[in-house]
Every structure is written in structure tokens, then in C-alpha cells.
Amino acid sequence: MTERPRVAAAAARASIAIRERSGREVPLWLRDTAADRPTTVMLRFQQADGRR
């Protein structure tokens, strides 16, 4: 994993922790980002770029 996805995953994990502590819903795309899985948004960009 390169630096950018690693930083994004760390930020997503922190955001999830904050949301869970405050009782807020955690969107699936945020959990996907934290787990370094492609999100629906990223898949759409890849399809538009012809990379999928």
C-alpha cells in the first residue's frame, strides 16, 4: 500500500471511531476506505477512466 491510501485508511478509522462513540451511523464507503477496499465511488471513477 502506498502512503496516500495508508493515510486515507487511518483517517477513515479515526472518523469511524468518532462516529461510533457519538452514536452516529457509519457509512459503508467509510468502512471500505478504512479496510482499504475499493468504494463505489472509486469503482465509478475507474470505469469512467476505462481502468475496469
What are the domain boundaries of the chain? 3-49
The whole-number pLDDT of residue 45 equals 59
Q: Has residue 51 got a pLDDT over 90?
A: no
pLDDT tens per residue across span 8-42: 999 999 999 999 999 999 999 999 999 988 776 66
**Residue 9 corresponds to which cell in the numbers above?**
485508511
Residues 6+ apart with CB under 8 A from 25: 19
Other CB atoms within 10 Å distance of the CB of residue 27: 13
Instruction: For residues 43-48, give the mean pLDDT.
Output: 61
CB 12 within 8 A of CB 30: yes
Determine the Cα–Cα distance for residues 30 and 34; give it in Å rounded to an integer. Answer: 6
Distances (CA, A) of 27 to 1, 2, 20, 50: 23, 24, 11, 27
Looking at residue 4, its pLDDT comes to 84
